[in-house]
Amino acid sequence: MKIVYVHHGNRKLGNPPSQDDDLTEIGYKDCENVAELLNNEKIKPHIKAIYTSPYFRCKTTAQIINKYLNVPIIEDNRLNEFDKRIENWVDLQNRVDDCINDILKKYQKEDMVICVTSGMNIAAFINKAYKLPSSNTTPMLGVPNCCPIVFDYE
């Protein structure tokens, strides 16, 4: 089974930044580009759902991508971004890993699912792909906005 990790589109930072921040004009264009990339005859038939954080920028990214795919969009709080006020780095990795585990149980090996989430959550996707444990020594990575990365969890 494959999961396409997608960091949400470039966001307008509110004052203060919040989960309700919208995308910038570039963010909207980038989402359209990713949607067009995924909307091809080799990939599209395998995509069964889009999982997204309930944050506005993630839901908006998922909705733009879904204009081309027309699959269910499923909101999951476990895909929310890291909040050091309420959790530590290992907690974040474990909660995202739980989400990935549930997705892997639900779909077939030839299926593909998109997960729209925040940049630092990439660490949990990498840990899962390489069978690494969650750890405080896992680097806090970030990825470019609206960057699709395919993970094969076979």
pLDDT at 154 (0 to 100): 82
Taking a C-beta distance cutoff of 8 angstroms, is the pair 141, 110 a contact? Answer: no
Domain interval for residue 58: 2-142
pLDDT at 15 (0 to 100): 75
Q: State whether the Cα torsion 143-5-145-42 is positive or negative.
A: positive
How far is it, in rounded angstroms, from Cα 75 to Cα 92?
Answer: 17
pLDDT at 66 (0 to 100): 98
Token pair of 71 as six digits: 């699959």
Token pair of 118 as six digits: 């925040």
Q: How far apart are the first and last CA of the chain?
A: 6
- Asked if residue 152 is part of any domain, the answer here is no
- Asked if residue 148 is part of any domain, the answer here is no
Q: State whether the Cα torsion 58-63-64-65 is positive or negative.
A: positive
Spans of the chain below 50 pLDDT: none
- Asked if residue 65 is part of any domain, the answer here is yes
Number of domains in the chain: 1
Exposure string for 74-86, b = 16+ CB within 10 A, e = fewer: eebebbbbbeeee
Residue 59 maps to which CATH number? 3.40.50.1240
